[in-house]
Amino acid sequence: MRAAPARVVRLAAEDDWDGWRDAARRLLAARVAPDAIVWQARESADDLFAAGGNDLPPEPQLELRVPRAFPALAKSALLHKDSERFALLYRLLWQVTEHPGLLNDHADPLVRRVELMAKAVRRDIHKMHAFVRFREVEVLVEEGAEGHTRFVAWFEPEHHIIRATAGFFVRRFAQMAWSILTPELSVHWDGEVLSESIGADRSQAPSGDPLEDMWKAYYAAIFNPARLKIGAMTKEMPRKYWKNLPEAQLIAPLIAGAQAREATMVAQHVAPDERGISLQGLAEEAQECRRCPLWKGTNGCVFGEGPGDAKLMIVGEQPGDEEDKAHRPFVGPAGGVLDRALTQAGVERSAVYLTNAVKHFKFEMRGKRRIHQKPDTSEIEACRWWLDQEIRLVRPRTVLMLGATAVRGVTGKAATIGKMRGSPLHLPQGDGLVTWHPSYILRLPDKDAADRAYGNLVEDLSLALEKSREH
């Protein structure tokens, strides 16, 4: 008997999860065996012929029952570059409908292969979130017209993850116009609409600009040679990505100077560890935080910044409008007051780990303006997890809390600043000090009261510096 000719199923794109799921449901319901199907993805956006014309069985009348873990696993694995993935997933689907416990058998060769594919995809997505670097370019739409700024990045993912990651960049850089160019596909955001175009060439991406210098300076400032673990670094940041990272050009000279600087640090009793690397990982994870609804409508999470081994940590309330746009704490008006007070107290901002109790900007819209709103207790509680991790990793000797929200974030308790300032609290991790929040000082209508509170802030910063140097 001659075998029936294989049925060809063409999907609309390499990452066409909806198309695969729809076809798989129909084929499975019609009991079309895995060996009888050839799966293909349409090769380019122009390959219109390939997009249609699938001769699929009708939509099934009944919902198919699959183990709960299957869709998430398959959705990730489907983005793998392995050309057999559509077929492997259909084979796995076929088997799990007969043996629903199969997904728990991690030694099963097919389950294992699909799990490894999903894991590789998740890792690639994580890398893309972490290592895309935008460069600012001036875009001229027409001759003689005024140009506008666009941020352009070049990235080479291993798998078909561009569409899957686009949402992350939209959320994180909602206010910017940006493009991410990749060999397979390019995505563009104009502040309102996400669009796509064909893949690009590395030569089409810009390289070298003033922003890069700023980034390099920042990276050099936070680079701690004692934490330099080449193995861990190359594991987290494979060499493949180095060529796209402006800061990677600094790695060789920094490594070269690391030994001498590490010796100095050991002499200063600074234990080498991986705190810097872990903090960076934490900051990346926090970008995906959905522990409370405050992430909605923001440009992302504003994580703490500063040396991972800072002796002094300063905790504020939450980022404001400017912090949300700049992705850095204390860069707006309250930051201006804090900077002035830090200078007067002799505290170097770059030596302090500066963070907030709540990591997303809470606001309400008034017309076109985003007006600050105080975070409530449940939001502070939800965000305490991140603050605890920062304190655990940085291990500051002294934590200075600016205002009642910071006190609640650090201690979990309510506070009256006027009563508490001046007397150190004994926190599990070291000394705690409490002072006025710079925004409170800015809001005081009475000039004398504002001057007094500002004077208190400078005093408390000096005390915090002193305490952080004790022990």
User: Is residue 439 at the binding interface for ligand URA, with CB under 6 A as the rule?
Assistant: yes
- Asked whether position 317 contacts ligand URA by CB under 6 A, the answer is yes
Closest CA to 324 of 363, 283, 277, 290: 363
- 382-421 footprint of ligand URA as x/- string (CB under 6 A): ----------------------------------------
- Minimal CA–CA distance to 417: which of 406, 426, 409? 406
Residues 6 or more apart whose CB falls under 8 angstroms from that of 106 comprise 112, 115
Cα gap 307→354, rounded to integer Å: 9
Q: Where do we find the tokens 């996400």?
A: 194
Strand-pairing partners, residue 315, are: 355, 401
Q: Cα separations (Å) of 224 from 188, 252, 254? A: 35, 14, 9
* Calculated CA dihedral for residues 78, 83, 89, 92, nearest 10 degrees: -150
- At 283 the three-state DSSP class reads helix
In angstroms, give the least distance from the CB of 376 to ligand URA.
15
Q: Give the total of residues touching ligand URA (CB under 6 A).
A: 13
Nearer to ligand URA, 76 or 356 (CB): 356
Contact yes or no for 46/126 (Cβ under 8 A): no
Residue closer to ligand URA (CB basis): 92 or 380: 380
H helix or E strand, kind and range, residue 9:
strand 7-11
Sheet holding 353-356, edge to edge: 353-356, 312-316, 398-402, 430-435, 425-427
Task: Provide the minimum distance between the beta carbon of 317 and ligand URA in the complex, in angstroms, as a whole number.
Answer: 4
Q: Does 375 bind ligand URA (CB under 6 A)?
A: no
**Interface pick for ligand URA out of 276, 300, 308, 319 (rule CB under 6 A):** 319
- Binder to ligand URA among 157, 316, 396, 432 (CB under 6 A)? 316
Between 150 and 421, whose beta carbon lies closer to ligand URA?
A: 421
Rounded to a whole number of angstroms, the minimum distance from the CB of residue 219 to ligand URA is 21
Write the binding mask 322 to 341 for ligand URA: x where contact by CB under 6 A, - elsewhere: -x-----xx-x-xx------
Compare residues 89 and 402 and give the one whose CB is closer to ligand URA: 402
Stretch that binds ligand URA, among 17-25, 139-147, 316-324, 422-430 (CB under 6 A): 316-324
Contact segment (CB under 6 A) with ligand URA among 110-118, 252-260, 315-323, 378-386 equals 315-323
Q: Which is nearer to ligand URA, 119 or 372 (CB)?
A: 372
**356 part of the interface to ligand URA, by CB under 6 A:** yes
Give how far the C-alpha of residue 287 lies from the chain's centroid of Cα atoms, to the nearest Å: 4
Quickly tell me which residue has 């012929």 as its tokens: 49
Q: Which residues bind ligand URA (CB under 6 A)?
A: 316-320, 323, 329-330, 332, 334-335, 356, 439
